[in-house]
Amino acid sequence: MTNIQAAIFASGTGSNFEAIMNQHGSLGCEVVLLVCDNPHAPVIKKARTRGIKTFVFHPEAYETKEAYEQKIVKQLQALNVSWIFLAGYMRIVGKTILNIFEGQIVNIHPSLLPEFPGKDAIGQAFEAGVTKTGVTIHYIDEGIDTGPIIAQQELKILPEDTRETLQTRIQKIEHEIYPKIIQQLMNQTLKMK
Ligand code: GRF
């Protein structure tokens, strides 16, 4: 196996979590933790079914972002995590985590950044009437979907597309490229070691 430990942060359905875990044996890292800020998120069950440890928290239960991020950092450090993959994590990662992990936190976003950052990127692109959109994988920095881009894949918006068909086609791309890019990043990391 590998000696790189990783965590996935997610808040919702977890289809990207699942796509990554389906390739677990060939990622080049071991996903040892799911961090989730929503106790009702379906992704939690997906992790537990696979025997992945979970850290689920209620942000409202903490006085500050720093307080809950400190808890997260403790969990990550206890498990020797060096890479974080955001997969539908609906929060801005703050300084407490960034100061330790910057350059090793990756996000997937359903648009061709810098176009349509933030929430509902698929809806934003659809409403804007653009003819192409896509998927971006990028490093996280302090901004909203502003960090250095690692990879992008374009997708034509077809005249017959609805918001739903567009979403389905975008997610299909996400599920293909996220595990692939993780694998490439892990290979580079291994080579540098
Ligand atoms: C994905 O579209 C991802 O690009 C965005 O949030 C969505 C998460 O979906 N950041 P899922 O929970 O992985 O199904």
Q: What is the mean pLDDT of residues 19-29?
A: 97
pLDDT score of 193 more than 90? no
Q: Is 138 a catalytic residue?
A: no
Residue spans of the domains in the chain: they are: 5-109+138-154+174-192
Residue whose CB lies within 8 A of the most ligand 1 atoms, among 8, 9, 11, 15, for a mutation test: 15
- Closest atom of ligand 1 to CA, residue 16: 13
For the segment 36-87, what is each residue's pLDDT rounded down to a tens digit?
999 999 999 999 999 999 999 999 999 999 999 999 999 999 999 999 999 9
174 lines ligand 1 (CB under 6 A): yes
For the segment 108-123, what is each residue's pLDDT rounded down to a tens digit?
999 999 999 999 999 9
> Which residue of the set 24, 40, 109, 138 is catalytic?
109
The edge-to-edge listing of strands for the beta sheet with 81-86 is: 53-56, 30-36, 5-10, 81-86, 105-109, 132-139, 149-156
CATH topology of domain 5-109+138-154+174-192: Rossmann fold (3.40.50)
Q: Give the pLDDT score at 3.
A: 86
Q: Give the pLDDT score at 189.
A: 75
User: Taking Cα atoms as reference points, which of 79, 48, 69, 57 lies closest to residue 11?
Assistant: 57
- Tell me which residue has its CA closest to atom 10 in ligand 1: 88
Distance from the alpha carbon of residue 90 to the mean position of ligand 1, in angstroms: 9
The share of the chain scoring above pLDDT 70, in percent, equals 97
What is the distance between the alpha carbons of residues 92 and 140, in angstroms, rounded to a whole number? Answer: 9
